[in-house]
Amino acid sequence: VVGAIRMAGDLERIGDLAKNIAKRVGSVGVSAAPRDLSHSIDSMAQLVLIQVHGVIEEYTAGDATALAKLRNDDERIDVKYTSVFRELLTYMMEDPRNITACTHLLFCAK
User: What band does 4 get if pLDDT is binned at 50, 70 and 90?
Assistant: confident
Rg of the chain on CA atoms, in Å? 16
Smallest Cα–Cα separation from 67: which of 77, 79, 54, 76? 54
pLDDT tens column, 58-107: 888 888 888 778 888 888 889 999 999 999 999 889 988 888 888 888 88
Instruction: State the pLDDT at residue 30.
Output: 59
Instruction: State the pLDDT at residue 34.
Output: 64
Host domain of residue 51: 2-109
Instruction: State the pLDDT at residue 85.
Output: 92
How many structural domains comprise the chain?
1
Smallest Cα–Cα separation from 33: which of 88, 77, 82, 93? 88
pLDDT tens column, 19-59: 888 887 777 765 556 666 777 888 888 998 998 888 888 88
Instruction: State the pLDDT at residue 29.
Output: 66
